Amino acid sequence: MAKNDPVTIKKYANRRLYNTGTSTYVTLEDLASMVKAGEDFLVYDAKSGDDITRSVLTQIIFEQENKDGQNLLPVSFLRQLIRFYGDSMQLLVPRYLELSIDTLSKEQDRLRQQLSSAIGVNPLVAPFEQHIRRNMDLFEKAFTMFTPFARRDDEAGGETKPAAEAAPAPAAAAAPAAGELDELKNQLSAMQKKIESLSRK
């Protein structure tokens, strides 16, 4: 097996997971650590040979979400995501989510520095947390402002407003004096523009 090839994980009927690369049994927590370390793997049902990687990764997310203080998925986002199942737009949602999380991943180092700097300058964390919540609300709205919906309604003669009018501009979410927070808002705005650009292709 080449160095960059995904590791094969086999799942047996007793739910035990076997890492063929290390010849050891592993847990979902071990697989979570592999993901965080950037190690790629594929999970196969040991009996049928079916690729069950998606379901195992979903189980890992479920386990992580059940840990105190590690919730990443807002309830409003989960509800909206569930509504897309079986919808005519379902095929577009994965690409939209991939683009959003890819943009966030590319900017994560800069975001960490800005967050650390802001917390370091202001020892009173509570006001800063309010700004963070505002920006997270904007990020959640970015997921719901899926521009093709607005365009389709416009083409059909509906009264749905364009995404730019349907929600307040990110620049108005926080006080303009907070330089670091303005940068966060600008990045969220840039992310939305990239998504709109992709939807036009």
Instruction: Give the pLDDT band of residue 34 (cuts 50, 70, 90).
Output: very high
What mean pLDDT comes out for the span 110-135?
60
Query: Cα(198)–Cα(146) distance, rounded to whole angstroms?
Result: 11
Query: For 8, phi and psi rounded to 5 degrees?
Result: -90, 125
SS3 state at 128: helix
Who has greater pLDDT, 122 or 70? 70
Rounded Cα gap, residues 3 and 195, in angstroms: 34
Q: Which sign does the torsion angle of CA 53, 58, 63, 64 carry?
A: positive
- Answer whether 42's CB lies under 8 Å from 6's CB: yes
Residue 171 pLDDT grade (very low, low, confident, very high; cuts 50, 70, 90):
very low
Which range (23-27, 75-79, 91-95, 197-201) has the least confidence?
A: 197-201
Token pair for 131? 């700004």
Confidence of residue 114 (pLDDT cuts 50, 70, 90): confident
Q: Give the mean pLDDT of the chain.
A: 75
Residue 159 CA to residue 75 CA, distance in Å, equals 28
Query: Rounded to the nearest 10 degrees, how much is the dihedral formed by the CA atoms of 92, 94, 98, 104?
Result: 90
User: Which of 146, 145, 151 is CA-nearest to residue 170?
Assistant: 145
Q: Is 108 helix (H, G, I), strand (E, B) or coil?
A: helix
Q: Could you tell me which residue, 124 or 120, shows the higher pLDDT?
A: 120
pLDDT at 104: 82
User: What pLDDT shows up at residue 145?
Assistant: 54
Q: How far apart are CA 170 and CA 174, in angstroms?
A: 8
In single-letter form, the type of residue at position 179 comes to G
Output the pLDDT for position 173. 41
Q: Which whole number is the average pLDDT over 126-132?
A: 53
Note the maximum CA span of the chain: 61
Contact 142, 195 (CB under 8 A): yes
Strand partners, 19: 9, 24
130-166 pLDDT tens trace: 555 665 665 566 555 544 444 444 445 544 444 444 4
Residue 108 has pLDDT above 90, yes or no: no
Q: What percent of the chain has pLDDT over 70?
A: 56
Q: Where are the domains of the chain?
A: 7-65, 75-200
Cα(41)–Cα(35) distance, rounded to whole angstroms? 8
Q: What percent of the chain shows pLDDT beyond 90?
A: 34
| The pLDDT value given to residue 164 | 43
